[in-house]
Chain A
Amino acid sequence: MEVISPLRTPLVTGGKTVADVTEDICKRIEAKPPKTWLLALTVSGVVLLLGLYALVITVWEGIGVWGLNKTVEWAWDITNFVWWVGIGHAGTLISAILLLFRQKWRMSINRSAEAMTIFAVICAALFPLVHMGRLWVGFYWVLPLPNTFGSLWVNFNSPLLWDVFAISTYFTVSLVFWYIGLIPDFATIRDRATNNISKAIYGALSFGWTGGAKAWSRYETVSLILAGLATPLVLSVHTIVSFDFATSVIPGWHTTIFPPYFVAGAIFSGFAMVLTLLLITRKVYKLEDYITIQHIEMMNIIIIVTGSIVGVAYLTELFMAWYSGVPAEQYAFYNRALGPYAWAYWIMMTCNVISPQLFWFKKIRTSLWATFILSIVVNIGMWFERFVIIVTSLHRDFLPSSWAMFYPTLYDVGVYLFTFGLFFTLFFLFAKFFPVVNMAEMKSILKSESSTAKALK
């Protein structure tokens, strides 16, 4: 039996009982969908369809419908890719690293954070696929499959290939981890189900969960193993994504600082996205007792830490450019800050470096509105960070004769919108049909903490 300090702030407030938890979470699934949900799903569905049009045209006509050119051959596509992958990181961090560190406050948020991870990785994976000139062969030629093309093999030197491995591993592990966690909850829903269809579906989804002690023991073991597997992924995935840039020769890309800088940035943006989503879910689903201000504050602290790491990385980059003595390198950073894309650079600086510093104030980091707004600001900033890295480095590199500007087209925007549509459609479906909070785990922190807390009052 764990010893719980009675002085600790309770993680679940409102004197919830075990039955309350089940009731609070399951009733959303069992009830008829509310109008707000239908509206939200419709809106995201419309966005999805609009984006789908852009996506289909892109695949049908060619990448030329985007604004890319001979100099800037990646822009929104890879920006969006890195952005979405980064967002996914918070989920894994919450579910894996925080599990290993026995941070119990994670229990109320890990389910939706993991769901977000999975949907974000799906969105992210779309970009490396559609950005290919020949998607129809590329999607399987990048895999090291035995083939009849002679001794043709993939190029293991290429960071893009490492991406393929990194992303697919990450997706697989995240999905399995998430799903294993869902099994006991699915069983709960199954047991409560009144109609046969729900019973059948949730029955199938719960893989015949019995709730026996052995099953629980295995469940916990598997969770720990998967957490152990997922933990290096939190660091490795974005490290490998950063290799796409760091191993190149382009000034502004060719930087050894990228791996830690990218990982910090990923967690930074991931937590921001978790906050954005949870603040809404919490409100709509009335989960204030499960996702408390304390949760929000904790996450905001992580945002300050990672935001500051990112800020230091930005400054280090500038210093290194100056210190390197390489003129092209120096120009790349001069151009970032003062060139034609300076506006993007300063948006990035404001959103990512300055705005999270506001969380030093307790008032701000415990304010729901401030957190909500800043979480969106951070994600805008993180999108611009990737845009700045990719576009401003490419658009003016070594030979001034090739310098060019990148102007996005409606199709660039459209494909980005598509991922938003996809992400929110999936998330809304998840919120309606899946338990948004891990009921089983919540129950484990309920008794000890809530009752002690209550007693203290």
Chain B
Amino acid sequence: MLFYSMKNTEKQYWKGTEQLTNDPDFVKFNEGEFPEYLPVNSNSSSSSEKSGSSRRDFLKLMGFSLSAASLAACEAPVRKAIPYLHKPVDLDVGIPNYYASTYSNGGNYCSIVVKTRDGRPIKIEGNKLSKVSGGGTTAQVEASVLSLYDTQRLRGAQVEGKTADWAQVDDLVKQQLQSISAAGGKIAIVSKSILSPSTKEVLKQFAEVYSGTQVITYDPVSAYGIVKANQDVFGVKALPSYYFNKADVIVSFSCDFLGTWINPVKFSADFAKTRKLGPSKKQMSRLYQFEANLSLTGANADYRIPVRPSKEGILVVALYNELATSLGAPTLQVSKINDEALQGYVSAAAKDLLKSRGKSLVVSGSNDSDVQIVINAINYLLDSYGNTIDLGAEAYFRQGDDAEMETFISELNTGKIDAVIFYNCNPVYDHPMGAIIASGIEKAKLSVSTSECKDETASLVTLIAPDHNYLESWSDSMPVKGHFSMAQPAISPLFKTRQAQNSFLTWAGIEKEYYELIQEYWKENLFNTQNEISDFQFFWDKCLHDGIYEVDNTAVTEVNLTWNPTSIASSISAKYTTDNSATELVIYEKVGVGDGSQANNPWLQELPDPISKACWDNYVTVSQRWANENGLKMFESNTYKVRLKIGDTEMLVPALVQPGQAEGTIGLALGYGRTDAGKVGNGVGVSAYPFLKKQADQRVLFLTGGVSIEPTRESAKIAQTQTHHTFMNRGYVIQESVLGEYQKDPMAGRYTPYIETSPALAKKLGSESTKLPPGAISMWKGHEYPNHHWAMAIDLNSCTGCGACVVSCQAENNVPVVGRQEVLNRREMHWLRIDRYYSSASSASTLKELEVAAENPEVIFQPMLCQQCNNAPCETVCPVAATTHSTEGLNQMTYNRCIGTRYCANNCPYKVRRFNWFKYHDNEKFPDNSSMNSDLGKMVLNPDVTVRSRGVMEKCTFCVQRIQLGKLEARKDKRPVRDGEIKTACASACPTEAIVFGDIKDPESQVAQLLRFEDKGDYQQVKEERAYHVLEYLNVKPNVWYFTKIRNKAELNA
């Protein structure tokens, strides 16, 4: 018996005699009493015996659901997680979407593509279709995505500093406007340049409702001088379009067209086209730059001549006279340049210009309309109009009217303005008369600001009606006549803000959305300029998709110069002199912080100035001679403050010794000294806006008198990312030559180290000579690259050093901002940096002398990033194999394996590895790292890239996440990866296409073509003569090639 055998001491109660007798029927049914096969899934069609689900499974499932439910209940409550009831068609979680849009900050413009992930814009790319911005970006454009998530942004409307309902604000505004308008009062709308035709339409409609409305436009850095000059001599009140790509000779007077002037992204692209060299192109443009501060353009010039701004007018006239004499035009009577060397450069420039008439371009950054008239006359003489300058393609980047603004300010201050609306502008800060505006605002009955943030102006007005960020807004742009672009929201508004145009419409009582108005405008004005698409919705969708629409207006406008040379000559004589001995102040804009409107953006604050490599501060740039005379010597980042007196103002500002600074001049940047920018930008440096001097109607960027500096012994530090400035004539780092030499021998300037070997070994390696290139012999077996081999070519001739790639990399790869103190500690985290080297004096022979930059040095920029060495020194030394080589030639970093011995960084000859010295995210000690220290800021992080923890090493990955995405996309389509499909963040940002990325295994790829790459098994050969490896002799075999820098000048270092 079953039971007895188990426990024979216990009593048993049988269920019946059947059990006792083991009746077969009983046995059968007894088993079924708790059947194992009870189905859980009633839909199961299989027979009960064979069913997959059993009672056991049911219990398991029940247990799982119980535990799952209880686990889920333990989780922190999810806030505002709203699932899609109906998933939008083209939105997949984890897959980025791209929206064409437009960046426009006043007159600073760029046509862009916004990358969004799960509804959040995380990256800005250039729109390759745009002819106005050319497909690249600038540092400011790249950084603007972080400004969207600025904690400083206003959360809603405000009345007298207190949060208020929009309805309340609207009521107040309407009421006031109506009463003012009824009483015939003046309503002023102050704005920076407005590129949007639809916005102009809105303001027009607003003005129709409220008579007495005037729109006043100003630009923080005005180009009114050019506009006025064009109006005076050509009758066209606009900027022309400049075509640097068509110019063989460019002469520029204080015009930083590669850095900050008008439309640098396009100018850089165009300029770079003229600088590219290759087997089939052995000609390049020549650039003469006359300037006081060493600008980005000056740094890229073939001849850079430092001059005082007080001489500029004379110089321009001298050039005009040289040309006029040769071409038989009337000359102007001004004093002569009493400087032979300078006169020599002017004559040389004139000679070059004449040689390439019709293919030459003369530009000036001056805001003095008299100078600009002479520039116009020069260009007119040189047949530039219709060739390198097009007045027909009017450009609207700078529409500010300095005179109108001055009038407004005096009216505001005398109480003649009843209502003032500051439309997305901050003149209290960025206008030289800001202080007067500040005191005048309260004299208006109604003052409104539409600023996104409570800036210097907005904090003084009574009502703030904050606008959306541009990434939340609809708009359009017409930066150049006939060239339109669209701006569309890439995220739904984060806060209770309202698009300013809608505010204007509401206040004017027009019951229409701005969006409808744009559509109407495009339907009426643009739809009928084409006949390809007959349906407006289609047309609209296409424009929205492309982001741009261009009306064909290729007809060249004839221009006629009408001017009065005598009056211009006398006016210039009165303003300029050749013998000023006073200290002259030259104010400039920085590539990063610019006019200061994005001063609260830490990416821009930490972007090193391309020239001085300084960040997080404003400083006075002084010449080396002044520094020597006054005992100022900078070592590392240590310097002294100088007492800067400008008129009645006196302040202590740190001094930075700037090679190339014209003697007797000092430089000071705009964009700093913000007081209401936010926690990042407040109190960084001093503001230079109050010193923009009025000259005739215009505000000019220099002061020729009333400025003095004296050294003090108060020490200061300037956070520089690079403190050694010359390249010590190291040919293995920088290889350069001049055009003449290059034309004779494409190998010109190349530094070719070799290894002397025995004849036997040379023979074995198949070489005639015993001098072998370093790559020929190796103790490493090399790696196999079965599919791809990623590589990069960087053309030092095209790279202007603008820094767009640096910010682009920072945004793409979640690179933390470390703040001023940590930059001073030499711990900035940028994966990609741009090394800037000055040449040493040509007389320098000892190492000590080589350490000092020349008085007026040649400058070279070298973007430096992980070279992805094939024989990587970092890989061998890591004890835990956290950095390894991929099968595609990448040197990959495994963050969660890294233990932080930093050996790899020490052994990196390029010093491109960056260590997380601290925890930079979620750490209140790094408030400037705003993209990682607040919930709002974190929205900008790229979810494809890990945010690195404290104690690990990081470095450039060649944007491995983009490579991966590209490969996956190709695999989905069952095709190989196409060249150009995968672009690193730096390459895609580069306006000049100086950085080319691709697969050298693909012989058709651009990079393989550029390098003329030949894969001979383990011995790879690059046939392009200009291509070189930095530190080639180390035989680390990088996957990044640099192309020699070729200058178009007679000899190097002349």
Q: Known contacts A153-B881, A164-B879, A401-B722; is A133 also within 8 Å of B950 by CB?
A: yes
Flag whether A141 is at the interface (Cβ < 8 A).
Answer: yes
Chain A residue contacts of B879, Cβ below 8 A: 142, 154-155, 158, 160-161, 164
Contact A158 B878 (CB under 8 A): yes
What separation, in Å, do the CA atoms of A73 and B881 have in the docked complex?
19
Chain B 868-881 interface 0/1 with A at a Cβ cutoff of 8 Å (1 = within)? 00000100111111
A153 / chain B contacts, CB cutoff of 8 Å: 881
Q: Is the CB of B1034 within 8 A of A62?
A: no
Question: CA separation between A123 and B754, bound complex, in Å?
Answer: 45
Interface residue? A398 (CB, 8 A) = yes
A134 to B733, CA, bound (A): 34
Q: Is the beta-carbon distance between B636 and A404 smaller than 8 angstroms?
A: yes
Do B873 and A132 have beta carbons less than 8 Å apart? Answer: no
Which of these binds chain B: A104-112, A326-334, A348-356? Answer: A326-334
Chain A stretch 115-150: residues in CB contact (< 8 A) with chain B: 128, 131-135, 137-138, 141-142, 149
Contact of B1036 among A133, A249, A334, A396 (CB under 8 A): A249
With known contacts A62-B919, A69-B827, A70-B914, A250–B900 Cβ distance under 8 A = no
Interface residues in B715-763 by Cβ distance below 8 A to A read 722-728, 730, 732-733
- Say if the beta carbon of A45 comes within 8 Å of chain B: no
Cβ of A404 and Cβ of B877 under 8 Å apart? no
Q: Is the CB of A401 within 8 A of B847?
A: no
Residues of B within 8 A of A405 (CB): 636
B906 and A134 form a contact (CB under 8 A): no
Q: Is the CB of A399 within 8 A of B910?
A: yes
A152 vs B899: C-alpha distance in the bound complex, in angstroms? 14
With contacts defined as CB atoms under 8 Å apart, how many contacts are there between chain A and chain B in the complex? 171
Instruction: Note all chain A residues with C-beta closer than 8 A to B833.
Output: 401
Task: Report whether A158 and B877 are in contact in the complex, using a CB–CB cutoff of 8 Å.
Answer: yes
Which chain B residues border A131 with CB–CB below 8 Å?
901-902
A64 touches B917 (CB 8 A): yes
How many chain B residues touch A (CB < 8 A): the figure is: 61
How many chain-A residues does the 8 Å CB contact rule pick out?
A: 54
The A-contacting residues of B in range 791-831, CB under 8 angstroms, are 822, 825-828
Q: Is the CB of B864 within 8 A of A399?
A: yes
A34 at the interface (CB under 8 A from B): no
A331 contact set on B, CB distance < 8 A: 728, 847
B837 sits at the interface (CB 8 A): yes
For A398, list chain B residues within 8 Å (CB).
Answer: 730, 732-733, 909-911, 1031
- Collect the chain B residues with CB atoms within 8 Å of residue A160's CB: 877-879, 901, 903
A404 vs B302: C-alpha distance when bound (angstroms): 30
B918 at the interface (CB under 8 A from A): yes
Q: Does B657 contact A (CB under 8 A)?
A: no
Which among A64, A74, A327 is the interface contact of B730 at CB below 8 angstroms?
Answer: A327
Partner of B911, one of A133, A248, A328, A397: A397
Q: Are B864 and A68 in contact (CB under 8 A)?
A: no
Q: Separation in Å of the B925 CB from the closest CB of chain A?
A: 9
Report Cα–Cα, A21/B915, bound state, in Å.
Answer: 57
A61 at the interface (CB under 8 A from B): yes
Contact indicator A397/B899 (Cβ below 8 Å):
no
Judge whether A63 is part of the interface by a CB distance below 8 angstroms.
yes
- B570, chain A: closest CB distance, angstroms: 49
B481-507 vs A, CB cutoff 8 Å, 1 = contact: the mask equals 000000000000000000000000000
Interfacial chain B residues near A328, Cβ < 8 Å:
730, 732
Residues from chain B with a CB closer than 8 A to the CB of A132 are: 899-901, 951
Please name all residues of chain A whose beta carbon is closer than 8 Å to the beta carbon of B880 when the two chains form the complex. 138, 141-142, 154-155
In the complex with contacts A73-B905, A398-B1031, A400-B733, A157-B917 CB distance below 8 A: no
A42 within 8 A of B: no
Q: How close is B649's CB to chain A, nearest CB, in angstroms?
A: 35
**A402 vs B953: C-alpha distance in the bound complex, in angstroms?**
17
**Complex contact B950–A62 (CB within 8 A):** yes
B151 at the interface (CB under 8 A from A): no
Complex contacts, B942 vs chain A, CB 8 Å: none
Q: Which residue of A lies closest to B902 (CB)?
A: A73
A248 near B952 (CB under 8 angstroms)?
A: no
For A62, give its contact among B826, B862, B917 (CB under 8 Å).
Answer: B917
CA distance A250 to B873 in the complex (A): 10
Contact of B897 among A64, A152, A164 (CB under 8 A): A152
A155, B911: Cβ atoms under 8 Å?
no
**A248 to B908, alpha carbons, bound, how many Å?**
9
Q: How far is the CB of B758 from chain A (nearest CB, A)?
A: 18
B907 within 8 A of A: yes
Q: Which interface residue of B724, B836, B876, B907 has the most chain A CB atoms within 10 A? A: B907
Question: Whole-angstrom distance between the alpha carbons of A337 and B592 in the complex?
Answer: 39
Q: Judging by beta carbons under 8 Å apart, are B915 and A133 in contact?
A: yes
Measured between alpha carbons, how far is A331 from B951 in the docked complex, in Å? 32
B916 at the interface (CB under 8 A from A): yes
Q: Is the CB of A399 within 8 A of B733?
A: yes
Which of A67, A161, A327: most chain B Cβ within 10 A?
A: A327
Contacts A70-B915, A141-B880, A153-B881 given; does A404 touch B909 at CB 8 Å: no
The reply to whether B826 and A69 form a contact with Cβ atoms under 8 Å apart is yes
Task: State in angstroms the CA–CA spacing of A137 and B951 once bound together.
Answer: 11
Is B726 a contact partner of A400 (Cβ separation < 8 A)?
Answer: yes
B835 within 8 A of A: yes
Task: Decide: A394 and B733 in contact? CB cutoff 8 A.
Answer: no
A369 interfacial contact with B, CB 8 Å: no
User: Which A residues lie within 8 Å of B864 (CB)?
Assistant: 399, 401
Residue of B nearest to A327 (CB): B730
In contact, A400 and B899 (Cβ under 8 angstroms):
no
Q: Are B899 and A61 in contact (CB under 8 A)?
A: no
CB under 8 Å from chain B, chain A span 382-431: 394, 396-405
- Min Cβ gap B755→A in Å is 11
Q: Is A71 an interface residue (CB 8 A)?
A: yes
Quick check: is A159 within 8 A (CB to CB) of the other chain?
A: yes
Q: Do B951 and A401 have beta carbons less than 8 Å apart?
A: no
Decide yes or no: A70 and B950 within 8 Å by CB, A64-B827, A138-B901 being known contacts.
no
B236 within 8 A of A: no
Q: Are B916 and A133 in contact (CB under 8 A)?
A: yes
Asked if A68 meets B917 with Cβ closer than 8 Å, knowing A74-B902, A249-B909, A328-B732, the reply is yes
- CB-based contact A142/B847 at 8 Å: no
Which residue of chain B has the shortest Cβ distance to A401 in the bound complex?
B835
Separation of A69 and B919 alpha carbons in the complex (Å): 15
B729 closest partner in A (C-beta): A327
A335 to B880, CA, bound (A): 33
Q: Bound state CA distance, A326 and B900, in angstroms?
A: 31
Q: Which residues of the partner chain B approach A404 to less than 8 Å between Cβ atoms?
A: 636, 723, 826
For residue B840, give the distance in angstroms from its CB to the closest CB of chain A: 11
Contact residues in A for B910 (Cβ distance below 8 Å): 398-399
Q: Tell me, in angstroms, the Cα distance from A451 to B953 when the chains sit together.
A: 66
Whether B337 is near chain A, meaning CB under 8 Å from some CB there, is no
Residues of chain A with a CB closer than 8 A to B873's CB? 248-249
Within B836-878, the residues touching A (CB, 8 Å) are 836-837, 847-848, 862, 864, 873, 876-878
Q: Kindly state whether residue B634 has any CB partner on chain A within 8 Å.
A: no
B403 nearest CB across to chain A (Å): 46
16 contacts between A and B (CB under 8 A): A62-B918, A132-B899, A132-B900, A135-B899, A138-B880, A149-B897, A248-B906, A248-B907, A334-B847, A399-B864, A400-B724, A400-B837, A401-B722, A401-B862, A402-B911, A405-B636
18 extra interface residue pairs, beta carbon distance < 8 Å, beyond A132-B899, A138-B880: A62-B918, A69-B827, A70-B826, A70-B827, A74-B906, A132-B900, A132-B951, A142-B880, A155-B880, A157-B876, A249-B907, A334-B847, A398-B1031, A399-B1030, A401-B724, A402-B911, A403-B723, A405-B636
Residues in chain A within 8 A of chain B (CB atoms): 61-64, 67-71, 73-74, 128, 131-135, 137-138, 141-142, 149, 152-155, 157-161, 164, 244, 247-250, 326-328, 331, 334, 338, 394, 396-405
Q: Which residues of B line the A interface, CB within 8 A?
A: 636, 722-728, 730, 732-733, 822, 825-828, 833, 835-837, 847-848, 862, 864, 873, 876-881, 897-903, 905-907, 909-911, 913-919, 949-953, 1030-1031, 1033-1034, 1036
> Ordered nearest first, which 3 A-B pairs have the shortest CB separation?
A133-B900, A133-B951, A64-B917
